């Protein structure tokens, strides 16, 4: 059975290793995702309630983090990273992390989440090219990989270029 819970301070080293190992075999990786997590934890854009771990076999096997981003005049979310240990992939752990993250984000009042990721993976959660919501990346990336999801039935029209936490540009 998989349990999803909020990360606590004792999880830091284990999360670091999970993220590092997960991205060693990833198709698209800059190799620094584990360091980015550590930087984001100290950022003003960090949201402790949206730093989640997946527990299976009494160990952390997955991790997800959503941080604040600015899109035009609004504060919304970026999903980065989502990591599952290679031996535990394709078991629905990533799905459970994304769904729980979305549920918490809705309760916290966020309207949108963006992600830079696989056009084969994230659409199954409802992510579509962000440009369809008027959300643009601040760097050159294919539309099919820069996606967003509307988390609730808001009439809020969002339009603008995403401004990520400064920590995304430091590694």
* Lowest-confidence segment of 4-13, 18-27, 112-121 by average pLDDT: 18-27
**Of residues 30 and 12, which shows the higher confidence score?**
12
**Of residues 7 and 139, which shows the higher confidence score?**
7
pLDDT at res. 155 = 82
Q: Is the pLDDT of residue 150 over 70?
A: yes
Range 162-169 average pLDDT? 92
Q: How far apart are the first and last CA of the chain?
A: 35
Q: Is the pLDDT of residue 171 over 50?
A: no
- The predicted-structure confidence for 41-70, as pLDDT tens digits, reads as follows 999 999 999 999 999 999 999 999 999 999
50 alpha-carbon distance from chain centroid: 9
Q: Is the pLDDT of residue 85 over 80?
A: yes
**Residue 35: how many other CB atoms lie within 10 Å:** 16
pLDDT at res. 7 = 98
| Domain 3-169, architecture per CATH | 3-Layer(aba) Sandwich (3.40)
Rounded to an integer, what distance in angstroms lies between the CA atom of residue 56 and that of residue 120?
Answer: 25
Binning the chain into helix, strand and coil, the percentages to the nearest 5 are 30, 35, 35
**Residues 53 and 3: beta-carbon distance below 8 Å:** no
Parse the chain into domains and list their residue ranges. Answer: 3-169
Range 16-20 average pLDDT? 96
How confident is the prediction for the chain on average, in pLDDT?
94
105 by Cβ neighbours in 10 Å (0-12 / 13-18 / 19+) ranks as buried
pLDDT at res. 170 = 54
Rounded to an integer, what distance in angstroms lies between the CA atom of residue 1 and that of residue 7?
Answer: 18
For tokens 């430091």, what's the residue? 170
**Of residues 32 and 15, which shows the higher confidence score?**
15
Give percent of the chain with pLDDT exceeding 90.
Answer: 87
Q: Is the pLDDT of residue 86 over 60?
A: yes
């Amino acid at each position: 059975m998989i349990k999803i819970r909020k990360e606590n301070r004792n999880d830091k080293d284990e999360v670091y290793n999970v993220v590092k190992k997960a991205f060693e075999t990833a198709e698209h990786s800059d190799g620094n995702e584990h360091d980015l997590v550590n930087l984001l934890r100290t950022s003003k854009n960090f949201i402790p309630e949206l730093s989640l771990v997946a527990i299976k076999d009494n160990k952390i096997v997955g991790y997800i983090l959503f941080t604040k981003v600015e899109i035009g005049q609004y504060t919304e979310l970026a999903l980065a990273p989502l990591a599952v240990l290679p031996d535990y992939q394709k078991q629905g752990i990533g799905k459970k992390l994304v769904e729980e993250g979305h549920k918490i984000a809705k309760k916290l009042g966020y309207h949108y989440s963006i992600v830079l990721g696989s056009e084969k993976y994230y659409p199954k959660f409802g992510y579509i090219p962000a440009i369809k919501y008027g959300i643009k990346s601040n760097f050159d990336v294919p539309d099919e990989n820069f996606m967003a999801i509307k988390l609730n039935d808001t009439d809020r029209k969002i339009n603008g270029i995403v401004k990520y936490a400064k920590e995304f540009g430091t590694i």
